[in-house]
Chain A
Amino acid sequence: MTCDEYRDKLLAWEGIEPPPPVRAHLESCTSCAAFARRFETAREALRDHRAEHQPDPYFARRVSALAAGGSDPLGWAAMKLLPVTLTLVLAMSAWCWLATPGPSELFEQAPTEDLLGWALEESGS
């Protein structure tokens, strides 16, 4: 195996100690040994990369207030009620359309004669 292949094996190794063939190579190759040390330092840095902050006592309350303000669950509930809402809207639209009299009905209902009489009286003729 070449140094390149040993380094690939070292990087892909998920255990703690590298496998025996890689360890044997590191003992004989100073360049790969230096690389392995830097890689180990990088692994340590990644392992230690952790913040130890704890949530403050009001965190949960703050988040739940934000969630309630966002009203997304209500939005979700509204989505569940969407078919009912649509049916109601359609039913009301149909009722409005049917209940509204057409031009001929309006003409029949219009107090034409009363208006005409009133207009004639007003004009004094």
Chain B
Amino acid sequence: MDGVACISAMADDGAIEPQSEEARLIAACRKGDSDAFADLVRLHERRVFRLAGRFFRRREDLEEAAQETFLTAWTKLHTYRSEAPFEHWLTRVCLNCCYARLRKTKPAEELIADRVEAPAADADARLEVEGLLRTLPPEDRFVLLLLHGEGWSVSEIGERLGWSRAKVKVRAFRARKKLRRLLEEAST
């Protein structure tokens, strides 16, 4: 049984608190313990993959984004203040890594969808719209994916990214404006 499985089993039995175990792992990581870091990664890898999967469909891109997230977390762990849950801090690191990576990615490299799951009658419309979304700048796609993909509000995005509410509002306004122009141009 690996460390995380053991921790989970003990937590299920009520023998230990998962948060205190996480705090122990974080403290060990701060001392440079890479085994503790591997356990910490195991605790959060699914969550990070799920979030990064919102922006990257190709496995290699997703994995690189997740890897970058954890390596950034490792190097910046001293900036984490334990008053807030570690999960929130890691979400912010992950979103910022994805954002930076998305900005570096050429639009053609990141496919908005590699398959269409819509009914056949709507498939053409869906393909057309997906093509339009691909042409949006990465910054705009990022905000739209958080708004419509994750379903987060402006306040939630600001809180999770560490951006001001005004900044998110401006980005969302610009992104919606560009999306609107694209959708209108496509219909003429």
Which residues of A come within 8 Å of B, CB atoms? 7-8, 11-12, 14, 34-35, 37-39, 41-55, 59-68, 70, 72-74, 76-77
Q: How far is the CB of B187 from chain A (nearest CB, A)?
A: 6
**A77–B31 alpha-carbon span in the complex (Å):** 8
Q: Is the pair B32, A77 in contact by a Cβ cutoff of 8 Å?
A: yes
Q: Is the pair B46, A55 in contact by a Cβ cutoff of 8 Å?
A: yes
On whether A73 and B49 interact (CB within 8 A), knowing A35-B187, A49-B54, the answer reads no
Verify if B93 is at the interface (C-beta below 8 Å from A): no
Verify if B149 is at the interface (C-beta below 8 Å from A): yes
Interface of B is mostly: helix
How many interface residues does B have (CB within 8 Å)?
A: 55
Q: Which 6 A-B pairs have the closest CB atoms?
A: A64-B38, A68-B34, A51-B53, A60-B41, A46-B148, A73-B32
**A35–B122 alpha-carbon span in the complex (Å):** 15
Q: Is the pair A64, B179 in contact by a Cβ cutoff of 8 Å?
A: no
Contacts A59-B45, A59-B63, A66-B71 supplied; 16 other A-B pairs, CB < 8 Å: A7-B180, A34-B187, A38-B186, A41-B118, A41-B122, A42-B179, A47-B149, A49-B145, A50-B149, A51-B62, A55-B45, A55-B49, A63-B71, A66-B67, A67-B74, A70-B71
